[in-house]
Structure formats: structure tokens, C-alpha cells
């Protein structure tokens, strides 16, 4: 594959397999993988722990000034864990209690500016795969490759249920379905950078693709974009 590094932006609805694809690409290409959703989840965890109200502007600004986020590579997981003020919060941010609040927190203008400013800096050297909701539209509108992922809603619910039930045996499929539908609704309808497909993004429906098939497909697109970059 070309040595010329590009930015790969992956956006889409909840639980479409964005992070799976992003991790596959990063491993294959030797790129950094950044899970932008983990940042919104970590901020939400801070808000929950400290009783921050989503409509209290002063409180939100104060909270953000006390939040420091960083990604630290975890050898065991072979991917980065997110740290909230020096604490590895990876074990807590996937809980349903965070998932139930995260879209409300991520819709706040100040929260988005805070996260987006950091995300933009991470792309300075290229060679990055970032997944989220506004990566191709707002964070990296200049990304050489933008993928917009979709998958059948029933398949998405089952995939997320399988992930969550391991740590939470009492969770129900209906709870998971409700959370995904609610987040997709809020994420798509918020005022600040709503989830939408960038005009120059390629749609990837992975409902019936294996992990290997999806990787093969996207690597072709990477090859194409990286070669075009070199030719420019």
C-alpha cells in the first residue's frame, strides 16, 4: 500500500460497525485509530459523576475547563484507551447509563467545540482513521477518504446486544433497541453538526458483509485515494 498517508473519516449511525472497520484499517495501514465517540462518552461520564446539568451553561463551561482527555495505547487490547483526567475510563464509558445520556451531552455546542478542536489537532500529521458522526462533515472536511456506514437496524441491535450482554447479563434486546433508536434520532436532528452523509462520502452497507469483505472493499478505496494524493 502507498506510503503516502491520508485521513480516513468514518461516520454513520450507532452500532454500524464503524469502530470494527476503523480498527481493521488502522492495523492494516499502520495508522492511528481515534474513537471520537469515546470522547463524548468520557465527557458524559464526568457530567454524570459530577451532576452537571445539560442546560446550565456556566456549569458546563466550568466542567469542560476541568476535563482533560487523552488516548493511551493499551498493549493488551492493541488499541487506545481513553483517559479522563489521568483515569482510564474505558471500562465505564460503554455502560448503558452513559449511552442513555451521551447524545444529549454531545448535542451541546460547547461540548462539541471542545471535542472537535482536539480531534482536528490529531489529524495534523495525517495517517489517521477517525470514526464518529461529524468526522467527514465538520472535523475533517478535507479527508481524502470518507465512508458513511449503514446496516440493517435489526442487525445493529443484535450486534450491540451481543457486545453489552457479556458485562451486563440483565440487559434486554428492547433496552438496546430503544437506546440505538433514541441516539440515532437525537444525533440526526440536533442543531449542532447533525449526523449526515458528507456529499463526497461513499456509502458502505455492511449488513451482509463479513469483516474480511468490508476491509477488502475499503482498502481498494484507500489505494485509490492514496494514489490520487501522490499524483496531485
Judged by the rule CB under 6 A, the positions of this chain that interact with ligand CDP are 14-15, 18, 36-37, 40-41, 102-103, 106, 132-135, 183, 187
Distance between CA 158 and CA 172 in Å, rounded?
10
Q: H or E element: which one contains 115?
A: helix 109-122
Q: Which is nearer to ligand CDP, 18 or 146 (CB)?
A: 18
Evaluate whether 60 touches 110 at the Cβ level (below 8 Å): yes
Of the pair 3, 55, the CB lying nearest ligand CDP is at 55
Cβ atoms of 46 and 84 closer than 8 Å = yes
Q: Are 198 and 136 contacting, i.e. CB atoms less than 8 angstroms apart?
A: yes
Q: Which helix (H) or strand (E) holds 140?
A: none
Shortest CB 203 distance to ligand CDP, Å: 16
Query: Cα(222)–Cα(74) distance, rounded to whole angstroms?
Result: 26
Q: What angle do CA 31, 137, 141 make, to 5 degrees?
A: 60
CB of 131 to ligand CDP, least distance (A): 6
| Cβ at position 189, least distance to ligand CDP in Å | 11
Q: Would you say 35 or 226 has its CB closer to ligand CDP?
A: 35
Query: Checking DSSP bridges between strand 79-84 and strand 69-74, what pairing results, if any?
Result: antiparallel
Closest CB 105 distance from ligand CDP, rounded Å: 8
Nearer Cβ to ligand CDP (123/132): 132
CB of 229 to ligand CDP, least distance (A): 24
Query: Which helix (DSSP H) or strand (DSSP E) does residue 107 occupy?
Result: none
Residue indicated by cell numbers 451482509? 208
Question: For residues 182 and 229, which CB has a smaller minimum distance to ligand CDP in the complex?
Answer: 182
Amino acid at each position: 500500500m502507498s506510503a503516502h498517508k491520508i485521513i480516513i473519516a468514518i461516520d454513520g449511525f450507532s452500532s454500524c460497525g464503524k469502530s470494527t472497520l476503523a480498527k481493521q484499517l488502522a492495523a492494516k495501514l499502520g495508522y492511528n485509530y481515534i474513537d471520537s465517540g469515546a470522547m463524548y462518552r468520557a465527557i458524559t461520564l464526568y457530567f454524570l459523576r459530577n451532576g452537571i446539568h445539560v442546560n446550565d451553561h456556566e456549569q458546563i463551561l466550568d466542567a469542560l475547563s476541568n476535563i482533560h482527555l487523552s488516548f493511551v495505547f493499551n498493549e493488551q487490547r492493541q488499541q487506545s484507551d481513553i483517559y479522563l483526567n489521568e483515569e482510564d475510563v474505558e471500562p465505564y464509558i460503554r455502560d448503558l447509563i452513559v449511552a442513555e445520556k451521551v447524545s444529549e451531552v454531545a448535542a451541546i455546542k460547547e461540548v462539541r467545540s471542545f471535542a472537535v478542536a482536539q480531534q482536528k489537532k490529531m489529524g495534523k500529521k495525517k495517517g489517521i482513521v477517525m470514526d464518529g458522526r461529524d468526522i467527514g462533515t465538520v472535523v475533517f472536511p478535507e479527508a481524502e477518504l470518507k465512508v458513511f456506514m449503514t446496516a440493517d437496524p435489526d442487525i445493529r441491535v443484535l450486534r450491540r446486544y451481543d457486545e453489552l450482554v457479556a458485562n451486563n447479563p440483565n440487559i434486554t434486546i428492547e433496552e438496546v433497541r430503544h437506546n440505538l433508536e433514541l441516539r440515532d434520532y437525537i444525533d440526526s436532528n440536533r442543531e449542532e453538526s447533525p449526523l449526515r452523509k458528507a456529499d463526497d462520502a461513499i456509502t458502505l452497507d455492511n449488513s451482509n458483509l463479513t469483516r474480511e469483505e468490508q476491509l477488502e472493499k475499503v482498502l481498494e478505496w484507500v489505494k485509490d485515494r492514496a494514489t490520487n494524493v501522490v499524483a496531485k
